[in-house]
Amino acid sequence: MSGNKPIVLLYHQVSSKNTKFIENYNINVNPKLFDNHMKILKNNFSTITFKEWGEAIKNNEDVSNKILVTFDDAYSDAVNYGGEILNKYDLDGIWFVNGGMINNDKMFWLSKLMYLYDNGKLNDFVNKFNVKFSGLLKNVNLDKLKVKDIDSWAKDNYSKELSVSLEKYISYFLDENYEASENSIYASADEIKKLSKNFIIGNHTLNHPNFRNLSIEDKVKESEKSKVIIENIINKKINTFAFPFGQEHLHWCQNDVSIIKNLGYDFIFSVVNKSKRVNKDVIHRHEIVELSGSEFKSFVNGLVV
């Protein structure tokens, strides 16, 4: 794509309480704090809508100091609180949805690993997995790692075999369908359809895998199946895509961009990391967590050149 890119912010959950099965990820922003963030954007910075960005590309206009808000994973509280607050300040947003998580009948594979970790069963699972799939998981001393280290190790070691094995193993300790339904972590089809009337809906793959660790065939399947599900819900075509987890090299590679572009996506998003190598065809986003109002304003000021 041509033209300048705006500054793109990334949020995940917006909730007044800890959300079961994702609380270890440190991705929640309290609604009052999110409201403050959006008020600061509205009063102190220049924002842009997705439609305006498209027009700017056509006209080769400079939008590098304008700001756009995005969300990953379509958590139910984020859809409701976040959408309401964006509307309050007349701000636009893009919501990247996982097609396989909409009905709340399955748990996220990383949440399953974290559940095993929290309940002292992760070592047993890893040992059993390594007997069946020798060498597929990198060796690590799970007893000496902190939650954030387990999170990084899990993402790096994602595989289809890991996901399938987790589903089988955890069924002995947890009723996955019941817990997913009872907690209603993700937005429903009705909530997403309602959201799509005011905001852009994008694709975030079917099951949120580490895209880097998939075969080309599975990369296409993860992307295409999710797109069909979401488009059938919102009755609109999707041309925006965000890589799961999102960091270049760790979670996607250069060839993946070509795959996604060939599937018809005009806007491809990732997450900024420390690597100096960046793909110019990808829009790099800045992840926002629990920053105070002053910290948030300072952070965004640092992005505006």
Q: Which of 47-51, 117-121, 272-276 has the lowest mean pLDDT?
A: 272-276
Helix, strand, or coil (residue 157): coil
Q: Using the CB atoms, write b or e for 188-225: b if 16+ within 10 Å.
A: beebbbbbbeebbbbbbbbbbbbbbbbeeeebeebbbb
pLDDT higher than 60, residue 135:
yes
| pLDDT value of position 4 | 81
pLDDT higher than 70, residue 275:
no
Per-chain mean pLDDT for the chain: 93
| pLDDT value of position 2 | 44
Residue 1: band (very low, low, confident or very high) from pLDDT cuts 50, 70, 90? very low
Q: How would you classify residue 93: left for phi > 0, otherwise alpha for psi between -120 and 50, otherwise beta?
A: beta
| pLDDT value of position 31 | 97
- DSSP E strands: which ranges in 28-187? 28-29, 67-72, 93-97
Tokens representing residue 186 in the block: 């993700």
What distance in Å separates the CA atoms of residue 156 and residue 210, rounded to the nearest whole number?
A: 7
Average pLDDT over residues 154-177: 94
**Do the Cβ atoms of 158 and 133 come closer than 8 Å?**
no
pLDDT digits (tens, 9 = 90+) for 42-88: 999 999 999 999 999 999 999 999 999 999 999 999 999 999 999 99
Write down the pTM of the prediction. 0.95
pLDDT digits (tens, 9 = 90+) for 4-16: 899 999 999 999 9
Tokens representing residue 24 in the block: 């270890």
| pLDDT value of position 281 | 85
What distance in Å separates the CA atoms of residue 75 and residue 195, rounded to the nearest whole number?
A: 12
Residue 103: band (very low, low, confident or very high) from pLDDT cuts 50, 70, 90? confident
pLDDT digits (tens, 9 = 90+) for 232-257: 999 999 999 999 999 998 999 999 99
What distance in Å separates the CA atoms of residue 159 and residue 137, rounded to the nearest whole number?
A: 9
Q: What is the dihedral of CA 291, 295, 301, 302, to 10 degrees?
A: -80
Cβ neighbourhood burial of 230 (10 Å; 0-12, 13-18, 19+): buried
| pLDDT value of position 93 | 97
- Which of 258, 231, 260 is CA-nearest to residue 244? 260
